[in-house]
Each structure stands twice: as C-alpha cells, then as structure tokens.
Structure 1
Amino acid sequence: MKILFLVRHAKSSRDDPSLPDRQRPLDDRGRHDASKMGKRLTDRGVEPDLLVSSPALRALTTAQLIADEIGYQRKDIVVDERLYASSPDNLLAVICALDDRLDRVMLFGHNPEFTDLAHRLSSTIIDMPTCTVAAFCFDAKAWADVAEIGPAEVRMDTPKR
C-alpha cells in the first residue's frame, strides 16, 4: 500500500507587495490552520516516511508547522524545486520516481497544480482550499504504479471542517 498526501500550502500573506512570490509568508490564519491540520493528522496516527516541499516560503512553512505537530524533524524535509510552478504531469513524474521503500509520502505545494492532480487521481476532488490535506491510498508496491491505477481510498480534510 502506498499513501500519497497532497497538502496545499496554508493561507499566505499579501501584505508586502514588494516581496517576490517565493518569499510570501503565511499569515496568522495560515499558521494557525497548518498547526491545526498537523494536530488532526497526529490524532489519526499519520506518520509519513517523507515530507517534500516546494521551495516557496509559504509551502515550506506549512510543511514545517505540520512536521512539528506530527513529530517529523524539520531538518528531514526535502525541498524540491519541481513542486514550485509545476504541472500535474510534472508532479506525477515526481511521485512515480519516489523510492519504493517509502510507503507514506506527503507533498506540499500550490494551486492550481495540486487541485488539478488531485482531481486527476480522484474525480471527487474539485477544489483544494488552502491547507487542505488530500490522502490517496493505492494498492501498489511501486510508486510508478500510481500513474496507472486509481486510488483504493481517498480522504480529504480542510481546516474549516
């Protein structure tokens, strides 16, 4: 079984228009929501083998805040340039290339790519608001297989639930 978590970054601040897009921080609600979602994941017993984040500050901070709640070391978060300004096809290529020894992987990134990929994996997902966590469980032994098969189970959680 392979479990993929797609996490859209939490709400970001646009208070400083001079900041480049990659440097936009989370706002107060975003910081709160990321910690809240991390606590929910802990309550569900989620223990990912790997966290991979876009290099954008808002995505990486979301990953760090969730990592803090689930007991994952911040220093072990992998920053992958391919998760920033990507496409569903490129994201799927990243997923298919994951080490098959990993069973539970959490990716942190952006819309519209994450919603588009989530919808491709499960037509039941139409939108991923900020800080949404979508979990896809695949009956597969290799990550490369997830591109060819549909998930056996899909769950989605948002901070507003």
Structure 2
Amino acid sequence: MKQLILVRHGKSSWEYDVSDKDRPLKERGIRDAGLVSNKFAESNLSIDFAFSSPANRALHTSMIVLRNIGFDLSNFQVQEALYDFSGNSVANFVQGLDNQHQTVMIFGHNYAFTTLANTWGDQYIDNVPTSGLVHIKFNTDSWDKVAKGTSETIIFPKHLK
C-alpha cells in the first residue's frame, strides 16, 4: 500500500516586489501551517520521505509542518518538479517515486493539488485551501500504478478554528 500526503503551501504575501518563487508566507500562513500540522501529528503516521517545491512559501510551509510532526529532515528534498500548477509534473513525479517509500509527503501548489486530490482521492474537494492537507491511500505497491485511492484524511485550517 502506498500513501501520499499533499500539503498546499500556506497563505503567501503579495507585499513584496519579488519573483513568484520568492514570495514569503503571511503570518496567517505560518499560523495555519502550525494548526494543520499539529492536528495531523495526532495521527502518528510514519512518513518515509518528504519533498517540497523550491518556492519559498512551500519550503517554509514544509519546515513548519515537518518540524511539528517530528520528521527527520535527512529524509527531505527540494524538487523542481513540484513547482507546478497544472498537476502534470507533480503526477509524473509521484509516479516516479522510489518504491522503497511507502508513505510520502509533498508540499506544493494549486491548482495542481486540488486536481490531484480529486483525480486520486475518492472525495470531491472544490478547492484545497492554503495549508490544506489531503492524505490519500492507494491499494498498490508501486508508485507508477497509482490511480484512484481513498481520501483517508482531509485537514483544512477552517476546520480547526
């Protein structure tokens, strides 16, 4: 069985004149990532590896979440393929994951994550909000065979306020 946890980056700030990749998180994005990760930590799910988009907002979100769940950062990488908004690059990345990893967490962007949550999960989600987390289980032992799975856990900041 393979498990994928999609985490959309926290709310970003448009206050600064920086490139899209360099946009930082707003205070709300920092708070919401903390709320969601603290709730997810209650599941005690063991994650084998985590990956993040290189965008500042995704990377910062990943550090908040991974620290809050006590994740070993030696099993973490930044991957350019996750800086994707359509979902095609993210889907190819996931389907190319090493099969030694059973449970993987990835940090990235919309509309890619909403599209994939609906493609792979069994619960329709209108929009994965910033700091939203969707955990999907797949009845397969190979990432390249990932198809329709079960939406195991959905945690959105608004559920925790």
The alignment's TM-score, normalised by the length of structure 1, stands at 0.92
Aligned counterparts of 2:39 and 2:87: Cα–Cα separation in 1: 27
Aligned counterparts of 1:27 and 1:60: Cα–Cα separation in 2: 13
1:5-29 superposed Cα distances (whole Å, 9 cap, x missing partner): 111001111111x111111111111
The worse-fitting range, judged by mean Cα deviation, of 110-119 and 1-10 is 110-119
Aligned counterparts of 2:8 and 2:140: Cα–Cα separation in 1: 24
Indicate the residue corresponding to 2:155 in structure 1: 157
- The residue type paired with residue 135 of structure 2 is A
Summarize the Cα distance change of 1:152–1:113 in structure 2 as closer, same or farther, 3 Å threshold. closer
Given the alignment of the two structures, is residue 60 of structure 1 paired with residue 59 of structure 2, yes or no?
A: yes
Aligned counterparts of 1:44 and 1:38: Cα–Cα separation in 2: 10
- The residue type paired with residue 78 of structure 2 is V
The alignment's TM-score, normalised by the length of structure 2, stands at 0.92
Summarize the Cα distance change of 1:117–1:152 in structure 2 as closer, same or farther, 3 Å threshold. closer
Contact 1:138 1:153 in 2 (8 A): no
Indicate the residue corresponding to 2:9 in structure 1: 9
Contact 1:10 1:30 in 2 (8 A): yes
Aligned counterparts of 1:76 and 1:66: Cα–Cα separation in 2: 14
Question: What does 1:132-143 align with in structure 2 at a 5 Å threshold?
Answer: 132-143=132-143
Indicate the residue corresponding to 1:82 in structure 2: 81
Q: What 5-or-longer segments of structure 2 have no aligned partner?
A: none
Contact 2:84 2:90 in 1 (8 A): no
Contact 1:11 1:130 in 2 (8 A): yes
Summarize the Cα distance change of 1:96–1:85 in structure 2 as closer, same or farther, 3 Å threshold. closer
Summarize the Cα distance change of 1:65–1:14 in structure 2 as closer, same or farther, 3 Å threshold. same
Aligned counterparts of 1:152 and 1:54: Cα–Cα separation in 2: 24
1:104-152 superposed Cα distances (whole Å, 9 cap, x missing partner): 1011001111111212113512210101001110111111110xx3103
Question: What does 1:62-141 align with in structure 2 at a 5 Å threshold?
Answer: 62-122=61-121, 124-141=124-141
**The residue matched to 2:135 in structure 1 has which SS?**
strand
Q: What 5-or-longer segments of structure 1 have no aligned partner?
A: none
Question: Pairwise CA RMSD of aligned residues?
Answer: 1.4
Contact 1:47 1:70 in 2 (8 A): no
Shift of 1:46: 2.2
- The residue type paired with residue 151 of structure 1 is G
**The residue matched to 1:90 in structure 2 has which SS?**
helix
The worse-fitting range, judged by mean Cα deviation, of 39-48 and 91-100 is 39-48
Given the alignment of the two structures, is residue 39 of structure 1 paired with residue 38 of structure 2, yes or no?
A: yes
Summarize the Cα distance change of 1:153–1:13 in structure 2 as closer, same or farther, 3 Å threshold. closer
Shift of 1:73: 3.1
Shift of 1:96: 0.8
